Amino acid sequence: MEKTFLMIKPEMVKAKRQGEIIDFILRNRFNILRMKQFSFDLERARDFYGIHAEKPFFGDLIEYITSGEVIGLELEKDGAVGAVRELVGATDPAEARPGTIRYMYGASLQTNAVHASDSPESAEKELAIVFFED
């Protein structure tokens, strides 16, 4: 069994849509090993999105992700990284396949409902950042 990370972004928590997304994840046979609702502080947000530090949108991304609470989930399933990426859909909701989370809930490239790890290495790093106290 492989583990991965999925984060429900601030706009979904504010809109109280997180339950629908969690239910969708469970219906797709993922095991939820850990779940945590929290707010990113600046340091942890910069660490989490450090891969984008040199990109022009980095400041806006940090401002956005620290704007409200998020929900981090450690998920488990055979081939979890690929399976969750398929389930969430394209980063841009306008390009997401019908039936994916971003197609159903995403509004824009930034407010696209969820973040999902793109590799086992990213999942390990992101899980360590979010669940650092465990």
Active site residues: 115
> CB neighbours of 22 closer than 8 A, spacing ≥ 6?
8, 32, 35, 71, 73
d(CA 13, CA 113): 9
70 beta partners: 38
d(CA 129, CA 47): 8
DSSP state at residue 97: P
CB 120, CB 18: distance < 8 Å: no
Q: Measured in whole angstroms, how far is the alpha carbon of residue 117 from the centre of its chain?
A: 7
